[in-house]
Structure 1
Amino acid sequence: MIIVMKAGAVKKDRDEVLKRIKELGYKPHVIHGTTRDVIGAVGDERGKLVLQTIESMHGVESVVPILQPYKLASKEVKKESSVIAVSDTVAIGGRQIVVMAGPCSVESERQIIESAIAVKAAGAHILRGGAFKPRTSPYSFQGLEEDGLKLLAKARTETGLPVVTEVVNPETADLVAEYADILQIGARNAQNFALLKKVGQLRKPILLKRGMSMTIQEFLMSAEYIMSEGNQAVILCERGIRTFETATRNTLDLSAIPVLKERTHLPVIADPSHGTGNYHYVAPMACAAVAAGADGLIIEVHPDPERASSDGPQSLKPKKFAVLMDQLRRIAPAMEREL
């Protein structure tokens, strides 16, 4: 159920409603709107009709059932798009198209600093880089772990770029949160419910990638796991799904962008690097994602992709990334956005 407060409701009214929701055995989540607050009451579906009694409380306009299985992520709860602040200067979901760029893995101080300087010079807003790497093969490079996190923090100090990096298990989530501005949940962990619950308890924005075989509803239910723990700052990322096609690493599902924008208030970005697996296709798919309505992009950029420890074939060199950023600057105004 969602409890819609009246436009003139005061804090005392809202606090009384929150108290009553808890008394009835439900967990309240306050969503601040532009003109009024909405409170999501989440819990056992079987007894939700008792929440209708809240409609008579002072300051309450209406009590409405949420039809979608994903409650807090649904546009039924919040009509306007959410804008998630990452730093004092960067927010995702507004007019600006936010670009995250950097190497797949942090390999050395020189590599990550050089990458950070290059992507910032081209106009990127956030530095990406993996310190913990969940790999299909146990023999592949697994990342520098905490040493990699320290190098990302140093790159942030050098450039001022906020950092997004992946968290791979609940045990290291707090450690990653000490260094990162955004915590990334990768495709392989998109239904790791223990991890989703853990990051939901942290107060950092979460970049949630779509699982490689996930339906859109399953994707939104994973976002719901995070939000139900109290963290409403979730950014969705379409990164390609597994199909029968072998010409690309994955099939980048650009149709998911407008579908998600219709169903949820959460920001949606695209990952054309993992979506295609080939640097030749990254730029055209990045442009297409912006045209489809994406709020941002996450792109792999490496100063020497031929020697990259992971995902070299899909990484752009800094010069090609700079050309792409120029293309995006021309496309953004056509979508009533800016870069």
Structure 2
Amino acid sequence: MIIVMKPTAGQAEIDHVVEKVEAVGCKTTLLEGTNRKVIAVIGDKRDIPPEYWDTIPGVEKAVPILTPYKLASREVKKSDTEIKINDQVLGGKKIGVIAGPCAVESQDQINFIAEGVKKAGAIALRGGAFKPRTSPYSFQGLKEEGLEYLARAREATGLAIVTEILSPEHIDLVSSYVDVLQIGTRNMANFLLLEAVGKCNKPVILKRGMSATLDEFLLAGEYILSHGNPNVILCERGIRTFETHTRFTLSLSIVPHLKLLTHLPVIVDPSHGTGVRELVAPMSRGAIAVGADGLILEVHKDPEKSFVDGPQALTIESFEKLMKESGAVAESIGREI
């Protein structure tokens, strides 16, 4: 349920409504609208009719929310959420591109890539310090050493840093180095981790689970929102199907569908979604055409020598070309990169 406050409602009236809601055992989240404020009520109190709240001073109306994802729903917030990433904004007119290697390998490697992607127009640098791998014998990342390399690359370029987090125990450590936390596909249903990042103040990129439905994806985002973190970015990265010509099946149709259902920004990962370098650029253009708010791409100095996911990584030169082509698509739909 949401409680819509009157445009004239003052802080004392808002505080009174919050007290009344919490007195019946529910939690509240205050949402700032353009003309008025809305209080989202989290909790199951079906025995209290909406009309009960309408009698409280300052309340315009109470509206039941039918979707299971309350805070992520457009029923709660009609306008798009814009998330600040350092001096950049994701979710507005500008399409944000996040780029970098799948894994941090050395200081020289990450600095070279950071300088290249920034020059081409990226708003943030991605790089894995902790790597979840299918095989226990594969490269697992440089861990804190990798985080230190990322932090130095930020000092050199000014780019915000995005990296994946694997467990609640790592949050304090990783948050001390980076600007945006990423939840990978394998952890979309790791509810303890979702709750933990919900309690921190860093923006979170939530990747869709490789077998997750749209509703499951949004409910994973709801875990983060319901624990107090409003800065959730949804990322489509491909799902596992019977098809074998690509690493995964990149479901671009979910982007406009998500934009209908949620106010949260939606980005796309064509690198993991295809696993094929030659397909990354056309799927990036397609993602922008269907309404994505951003892209997250793998870029490497020398993909053939990459420790992880070389076949899908772009070179700096191919990334520059992609940015120019994608910019033309963005301009054609009234946006920019």
Same fold (TM > 0.5): yes
> Matches of 1:331 and 1:47 in 2, distance apart?
47
Which residue number in structure 1 is paired with residue 55 of structure 2?
A: 56
Corresponding residue SS for 2:61: strand
Which residue number in structure 1 is paired with residue 28 of structure 2?
A: 28
State which of 84, 97, 100 in structure 1 corresponds to 2:98: 100
Matched, 1:18 2:25: no
Which residue number in structure 2 is paired with residue 155 of structure 1?
A: 153
Which residue number in structure 1 is paired with residue 197 of structure 2?
A: 199
TM-score, reference length from structure 2: 0.98
Between the aligned residues of both structures, percent identity stands at 55
Corresponding residue SS for 1:137: coil
> Are the counterparts in 2 of residues 24 and 50 from structure 1 also a CA contact under 8 Å?
no
TM-score, reference length from structure 1: 0.98
How far does the alpha carbon of each residue in 1:101-126 deviate from its partner, in whole angstroms, 9 at most, with x for none? Answer: 00000010000000100101111111
Structure 2: give runs of 5+ residues left out of the alignment: none
Structure 1: give runs of 5+ residues left out of the alignment: none
For these two proteins, the number of residue pairs brought into alignment is: 337
> Matches of 2:129 and 2:219 in 1, distance apart?
27
> Matches of 1:162 and 1:277 in 2, distance apart?
25
Which residue number in structure 2 is paired with residue 286 of structure 1?
A: 284
Which residue number in structure 1 is paired with residue 77 of structure 2?
A: 78
Which residue number in structure 2 is paired with residue 66 of structure 1?
A: 65
Q: Which runs of 4+ in 1 moved over 2 A?
A: 45-52
> Matches of 1:277 and 1:163 in 2, distance apart?
23
Cα displacement (A) at 1:152: 0.6
Cα displacement (A) at 1:180: 1.3
**Residues 90-129 of structure 1 mapped to structure 2, 5 A cutoff:** 90-129=88-127
Aligned AA (2:174): V
Cα displacement (A) at 1:52: 4.2
> Matches of 1:64 and 1:11 in 2, distance apart?
21
**Residues 106-255 of structure 1 mapped to structure 2, 5 A cutoff:** 106-255=104-253
> Matches of 1:35 and 1:305 in 2, distance apart?
50
> Matches of 1:192 and 1:337 in 2, distance apart?
35
Which residue number in structure 1 is paired with residue 315 of structure 2?
A: 317
> Matches of 2:279 and 2:7 in 1, distance apart?
48
> Matches of 2:330 and 2:315 in 1, distance apart?
22
Aligned AA (1:103): P
> Are the counterparts in 2 of residues 21 and 51 from structure 1 also a CA contact under 8 Å?
no
CA RMSD of aligned residues (A): 0.9
Matched, 1:6 2:9: no
> Matches of 1:191 and 1:336 in 2, distance apart?
36
Matched, 1:307 2:305: yes
